[in-house]
Amino acid sequence: MVPGAGYGAGWGVPVGMPGFCFPGPASVSWSPQVACILPGGHMVQTDGLGAVGSPGVAERPGCSGAERGSALSAAAVAGGGTAGSLHSSSQMPEVAVRGGSVQASDVSSVVGIAGQGVSGVSAGVPGASSTAPSPCSYSLWIVGHSFVHWASERAGIRPGGRHLGLGHLGLRVSWWGQRGMRWSQLLLLLTDLRSRTSPPDILLIHLGGNDVDAWTGKDLVNRIKDDLRVVGDWFPGVLLVWSDIVPRPRRLASRRWTRGLAKLNRQVGKWVVGHGGWQILHDWVDVTCLGLYHTDGVHLSDVGWDLLLDDFASSCEKFLSARE
């Protein structure tokens, strides 16, 4: 099951408590996943193209500011915090676009094809919308560590499915999440993907959280910038989206996870935006609101996953609106 209600079977192994296992070690083998139990008792097979969004569900409408405020209030109550301590916004998410127009690739008919891999899912939601489909198709790759893996699982059981409720607008989402993934594995994954499928229109990266303790802030920022330059050379014309690393309550004793992380997100985000990309600022994050987090103090609760997915969806909706 998605963190927030325990982990599902995968690379982790059960330890101590029934129905609970910690994420396993990192690897670049990209082996298929086994079935896992999702909230509500649904079985989902996550082995490449076989893992698809829930069929027959309605596309998810955009979340209003009031709906978002309600979700945050519920999280505050669940975590013992107060709704007033959270900074809700009618603009969701806050997407930083500084210094001119959005840079994105031309309209493409590409549909991202996810081969067998860890959470490698080219999402499909048949019959998901009563709205006429868009004549254009846009491909989104979401790449990252366990947050991407579990967000994909959560998206699969939400209305709108793994296409983030935007399938009727032509968005096709491929999820590439590996639990335990380090920043050094990003180019290895992208090398594999670019050798066997067409490039995406949008490349959203949510990665780096597992490296905060391993590098100094300056070294990690420089490493990220260097690799993103390579990504830009490999995927010219693709809209690069940096999703801010989410702070973890379990790590707050370390300065690298407080002021250091804020500085890292700010510097990397500014660099990405300066090169024509976008930065997603997760303004709902509040480490004192335990209802947003799983009990492990690292991953998110169901409410947290929903807010993260809303951020992803809103940034993609802005891109699609700009293409109309």
Q: Quick one: three-class SS letters along 155-210?
A: HHCCCCHHHCCCHHHCEEEEEEECCCCCHHHHHHHHHHHHCCCCCCCEEEEECCHH
Per-residue pLDDT tens over the stretch 114-166:
333 345 555 543 333 334 555 678 999 999 999 999 999 999 999 989 999 99
CA 72/CA 92 separation, integer angstroms: 13
Q: Three-state SS string across 5-21, please?
A: CCCCCCCCCECCCCCCE
Range from 156-165, 166-175, 223-232 that averages highest in pLDDT? 223-232
CA 112/CA 94 separation, integer angstroms: 26
CA 83/CA 279 separation, integer angstroms: 26
In b/e form, how buried is each residue of 110-136, taking b as 16+ CB within 10 angstroms? bbbbbbebbbbbbbbbeebbeeeebee
Per-residue confidence (pLDDT) for residue 253, from 0 to 100: 86
Higher pLDDT, 75 or 102: 75
Average pLDDT over residues 187-202: 95
Could you tell me the pTM of the whole model? 0.64
Instruction: Check whether 269 has a pLDDT greater than 90.
Output: yes
Residue 65 belongs to what H/E stretch?
A: helix 65-79
CA 171/CA 165 separation, integer angstroms: 9
Per-residue confidence (pLDDT) for residue 322, from 0 to 100: 83
For residue 100, give the 3-state DSSP assignment: coil
Query: What residues are paired with 293 via a beta bridge?
Result: 300
The dihedral over CA atoms of 255, 259, 261, 267, expressed in degrees to the nearest 10, equals: -140
Instruction: Check whether 192 has a pLDDT greater than 70.
Output: yes
Per-residue confidence (pLDDT) for residue 69, from 0 to 100: 54
Question: Is CATH 3.40.50.10470 the classification given to domain 45-323?
Answer: no
Average pLDDT over residues 281-304: 94
Q: Which of 64-78, 115-129, 221-235, 246-260 has the weakest average pLDDT?
A: 115-129
Q: Percentage of residues in the chain with pLDDT exceeding 70?
A: 58
Residue with tokens 């969701």, as numbered in its chain? 92
Domain ranges of the chain: 45-323
Higher pLDDT, 87 or 133: 133
Average pLDDT over residues 184-211: 96
Residue with tokens 């709205």, as numbered in its chain? 131
Would you report the helix, strand and coil content of the chain in percent, each value rounded to 5? 35, 15, 50
Residue 311 has, within 13 A of its CA and on its CB side, a CA count of 32
Question: Which residues, other chains included, contact 229 with Cβ-Cβ below 8 Å and sequence gap of 6+?
Answer: none
Per-residue pLDDT tens over the stretch 27-71:
333 433 333 333 333 333 333 333 333 333 334 444 445 545 555
Higher pLDDT, 27 or 252: 252
Confidence label for 321 from pLDDT (cuts 50, 70 and 90): confident
Confidence label for 11 from pLDDT (cuts 50, 70 and 90): very low
Instruction: Check whether 195 has a pLDDT greater than 90.
Output: yes
Phi, psi of 47 (to 5 degrees): -115, 80
Mean pLDDT, the chain, rounded, equals 72
* Number of other CB atoms surrounding residue 212 within 10 Å: 20
